[in-house]
Amino acid sequence: MAIAFIFCLFLARFFYIQAIWEDDLHYLALDQWTREIPVVAGRGRIVDRNGEVLAANKTAYSVYARANAVTDPEGSAQLLSQSLGLSYDELYAKLTDKGRSEITVVKRTAKEVVQSIESYDISGVYYARDNLRYYPFGALASQVLGFTSYDGSGTTGLERSYDEYLAGDNGEILFETDLVGVDLKGASAAYVPATDGMNVRLTLDYRIQALAEEVMARALAESNAKAARAIVLDPNDFSVLAMVNLPSYDLNDIPRDDLDSLNLLSRNCIVSDIYEPGSTFKIVTAAADIEEYLRGNDRAFSTNHVFSSSRTRTVDGSQIKCWSDHKNGKHSNQTLAEALNNSCNPCFVDIALALGKNKFYEYLKAFGFGRATGIDFSGESIGMLLAESTVKNGDLARIGFGQTIAVTPLQLACAAAAAVNGGYYYSPRLVSEIYTDDGLTHYFVKEKFVGRTVSEEASVILSGMLEGVVRDGSGKKAYIEGYHVAGKTGTAQKYVDGKIAQGKYVSSFVGYFPAKSPKYLALVIIDEPQGTYYGSTVAAPCAGEIFRGIIDLMKIQPTEG
């Protein structure tokens, strides 16, 4: 009985080795009797919408060694030290480390260096082609593009989000060796080719990106601000044409030795950071009111309604003032269009309270607040929207004019676009196509419709009012004769530890043109400008400059009427 049991154990072990462990043992034997030279796959390029290369590769070479095959470690270490500028002692220690089948001598060195090493014909030392990621425009769109790690895999930005397409699959060349790793004479080599990565085409236009970065860099310096940001969208499908985060850094000179600085500079704040939007949010409140009036809601205000001349509103014991009347104490009766021109807070308090919590929250959700936009980029924030069940009248009143709610710049830009493009909300996108080097499309990223916000009629009415803001109101510094620019300014106080931080503001402007058929929409944000801090004087001029630049680039003719 015992003999039979032992026999069964041996039989089971034999079956395990022959049938189940076969692949692993085969791999171990292959590794022991072969030397592998890696064939590195070329990482795919990242190009803008017009094919301009934004991320590419430079050919470099990596040098490897098999200590068991190095016949003269002292002389080899000396020659390698001279060619590579590395420590002799460190190289000697590597070349005599018999415990490792293969060591990396150096990665990503120049072709000339490898040719010098090759001329020495050092036994046990070989090299392979490698890739060095290169960004032709340096700091352009750095937070969007992101960068790769030392081993070439995507670490941040689109390099990370689309790494599965960009990376490709490495190959190798296999040489037969003896037990100590010395090449066998007459043995043939087996070649496993690499599969290069695919290319990624963006919706970005590098010309608009460069233009916006230049404008925002100037604003950052002139206002001595903490940061300057901008996003340019096509309102018709929410494809991103430019995304600017300043200060920035050169992707070809990444500060890897200062992780705190790198984390700060590489953060795409347009997507990941939130802020109180202030008066730019009044676009959403106005859109909701206009749509509800058109639907016959008797609680909504008509476009001809004249709001109370009182310069304050008291809600739940808290007084809300109109910012523009602090000096003279006067306040005129106003229509909705005039309230937008003057950015009068009390009028939008009236709208939010009149529509009520349930109805107003329907619009907040339709405009994408409290959820991710769905952009093809990692790390997106959902913003901060109070749970509807917890909202009191005081909260609702302040949300109506852009307080007690925090949004990402991307959320606000998308909401504004969905208010003025006929009421259509799409998921924003940065990538339009994945394609191979031979021009074949692997994957086409189509526009993704999410839902309706308001009717086309409401959108047209609102757009007419916002054009008035630029022509006659607080957005005058974004005005361009003949191009029908529309938009809304915003100036929001910042909070630190739950309290208003004195002297700290976020100045912003969201605008678009042409008003009747929007083609370009831009949101500009200046964080903590020094001196003048109103959105009308700090942010609106930046949007005007960006629009003028786009007009020149695209050779857009003025619109009649």
Nearest Cα to 105, choosing from 76, 134, 131? 76
Reported as a single tens digit per residue, the pLDDT across 454-483 is: 999 999 999 999 999 999 999 999 999 999
**Assigned token pair, 340:** 């937008």
What are the C-alpha distances in Å from 107 to residues 63, 145, 151, 258, 314? 6, 24, 9, 22, 68
Domain residue extents for the chain: 37-202, 206-554
DSSP 3-state of 57 = strand
pLDDT, mean over the chain:
88
Question: What pLDDT does 288 receive?
Answer: 98
Which of 194-198, 249-253, 477-481 is the least confident region?
A: 194-198
Question: What pLDDT does 184 receive?
Answer: 47
**Per-residue confidence at 1, pLDDT binned at 50, 70, 90?**
low
Residue linked to tokens 């924030």? 381
Structural contact between residues 303 and 337, judged by C-beta atoms closer than 8 angstroms? yes
Rounded CA-CA distance 11/293 in Å is 84
Structural contact between residues 353 and 300, judged by C-beta atoms closer than 8 angstroms? no
Specify whether domain 37-202 bears CATH 3.30.1300.10.
no
List the catalytic residues.
279
Range 295-300 average pLDDT: 97
Reported as a single tens digit per residue, the pLDDT across 126-181 is: 777 778 899 999 999 999 999 999 888 999 999 999 999 999 888 876 655 544 44
Is residue 558 scored above 90 in pLDDT?
yes
Residue linked to tokens 């009248």? 393
Is residue 71 scored above 80 in pLDDT?
yes
Reported as a single tens digit per residue, the pLDDT across 424-447 is: 999 999 999 999 999 999 999 999
Rounded CA-CA distance 375/158 in Å is 11
Per-residue exposure over 404-440, b if at least 16 CB sit within 10 Å of its own CB, e if not: bbbbbbbbbbbbbbbbbbbbbbbbbbbbbbbbeeeee
**Assigned token pair, 545:** 């400059």
Is the entire prediction scored with pTM above 0.85? yes
Nearest Cα to 509, choosing from 481, 545, 457? 545
Task: Say yes or no: do domains 37-202 and 206-554 share a fold.
Answer: no
Residue linked to tokens 């402007």? 509
Please report, to the nearest 10 degrees, the dihedral formed by the alpha carbons of residues 469, 472, 477, 481 taken in order: 100
DSSP conformation letters of 451-518: EE-S-HHHHHHHHHHHHHHHHHSTTGGG--TTS--EEEEEEEEEEETTEEEEEEEEEEEEEEESTTS-
Classify residue 244 by burial, with Cβ atoms within 10 Å: 0-12, 13-18, 19+.
buried
**Assigned token pair, 136:** 């032709």
Residue type, 508: S
Specify whether domain 206-554 bears CATH 3.40.710.10.
yes
Nearest Cα to 484, choosing from 546, 547, 429? 547
Rounded CA-CA distance 345/352 in Å is 11
- Longest distance between any two alpha carbons in the chain, whole Å: 108
Nearest Cα to 159, choosing from 192, 194, 131? 131
Rounded CA-CA distance 103/87 in Å is 15
